[in-house]
Amino acid sequence: MSHVHGPGCNHGSGGGGGGGPQTINISDANLAPPLYKNIAGFLRDEKKSAMKQKQGVFNGKRVDYFKGKQAVNALLKEGFAKTLPQDEKKPTERSDAVGILNELGRLGFILCVERGDPINGKHTPRVLRPCAVQEMNESGYYLWVWEGSQLRTYLGAVGLVGAILTAVLFPLWPNFLKLGVWYLSVATLGLLGVFFGIAIVRLILFIITMVILPRGFWLFPNLFEDCGVIDSFKPLYGWDEPKQKKKAASSPSSSSTATSEPSQTSNKESTTSTTVETVKED
C-alpha cells in the first residue's frame, strides 16, 4: 500500500522542503494501461465522481489536488463500478480503493504532496510540496500529474483563433455573407426584445392582479424556471400560490394543542372532585 523512495523509485527524492523548483522523475501516465486511464478520467470528472478538487501551486504552476479520503469514497460508489469492465474486480473495501490510488501513483497519474501556507491570504491556493515518502492513504493529499486528454483544449484553441481571424477579415467577406450576418443580428436583437417585452408585461400584469385580486396572475409562469426552452412557455398562464395554504398547513397542530388543553383541565377537575368525595366520606 505504500511506496518508499529508493534506487528504483519512479518519483525521485523530491524532499519536503525548499521553495525553489524541484525536478521529480515521474512515470509517463500516457503509457499506462487503458483501465487506469479510465479510472483517472472518472476521478478527474467532478460530476461523475463527486470528488471535490482544489487548486494549489506546485513549482510555480497551478495544479489540481484532492484528499485521499474523497478519492476512496468515489472509488467505492456504484457509479465507478459501472465504468469498469465486467471481468474486472470491483473494489468493495476501503483498502482496495487505497490500492488503486497506490497504482495510480506508481503509473505517474498522481503525486503525494503536503500542503503549505496560502500564497496571498486565506482564500488563495496553497503551496504544495512532494512528500519524501509516497505513501497512499486516506489522510494524504495528491496532485494530478496527468492532465487527461487535451483534444478538447486543442480544438477550442483552434476554434477561437479561427473565430478571431474570421471577424478580422469581415471587410473582405462577400456581400451576401455580410447581408446574412446583418439579418441574423437583427433577428437576434428582435428575439431579445420580445423576451424582455414578455418579462416586463408579465410583471406588470402580476402587480395589477395582486392589487385587484387575492391572487397574482402570471403570464408564462415557468418563464424563468430551470427547464427547457419549450417548457418555459408552458402553460400559457397560471396563478400565484395562495397564502391560505400555508396557514391551513399550520392550523392542525394548533387545533390539536387547543383540544389537549381542555382534556388536561378536565383530568385535573376529576382528580379534585374525587379527593373532595373521599374527605366527605371520612
146 neighbors 110 (Cβ within 8 angstroms): yes
**Grid coordinates in use for 254?**
394548533
Instruction: List Cβ neighbours of 281 (8 Å cut-off, separation of 6 or more).
Output: none
Please state which of the ranges 17-26, 134-143, 225-234, 262-271 shows the lowest mean pLDDT. Answer: 262-271
Judge whether residue 42 has pLDDT over 70.
yes
- And the C-alpha cell for 98? 487505497
Mean pLDDT of 114-135: 86
Sequence-distant (6+) residues with CB within 8 A of 138 are: 67, 68, 69, 72, 94, 98
Judged against a pLDDT cut of 90, whether residue 201 lies above it is answered with yes
pLDDT band at 241 (very low <50, low <70, confident <90, very high): confident
Which residues, 6+ apart, have CB-to-CB distance to 144 below 8 Å? 44, 53, 63, 64, 65, 66, 109, 110
pLDDT over 90 at 32, yes or no: no
Q: Which residues of 150-180 are buried (b: 16+ CB within 10 A; e: fewer)?
A: eeeeeeeeeeeeeeeeeeeeeeeeeeeeeee
Show the 3-state SS of 48-79.
Answer: HHCCCCEEEEECCEEEEEEEHHHHHHHHCCHH
Q: Which pLDDT band holds residue 28 (cuts at 50, 70, 90)?
A: confident
pLDDT at 127: 92
DSSP 149: -
Higher pLDDT, 264 or 24: 24
In this structure, are residues 98 and 136 in contact, taking their beta carbons and an 8 Å threshold? yes
Model pTM score: 0.51
Residue 263 has pLDDT above 50, yes or no: no
Residue-level pLDDT at 22: 52
116 in Cβ contact with 129 (< 8 Å): yes
Q: How far apart are CA 95 and CA 159, in angstroms?
A: 45
DSSP, collapsed to helix, strand or coil, labels residue 242 as coil
Is-cis flag, bond preceding 130, omega within 30? no
> Does residue 130 register a pLDDT over 60?
yes
Per-residue confidence band for 153, with pLDDT thresholds at 50, 70 and 90: confident
At 81 the pLDDT is 86
Q: Mean pLDDT, to the nearest integer, of 84-98?
A: 89
Band (pLDDT 50/70/90 cuts) for residue 270 is very low
24 pLDDT tier (thresholds 50, 70, 90) = low
How many alpha carbons fall within 13 Å on the CB side of residue 57? 13
Q: Which residue, 106, 112, 102, 101, is CA-closest to 74? A: 101
CB-based contact 217:237 (threshold 8 Å): yes
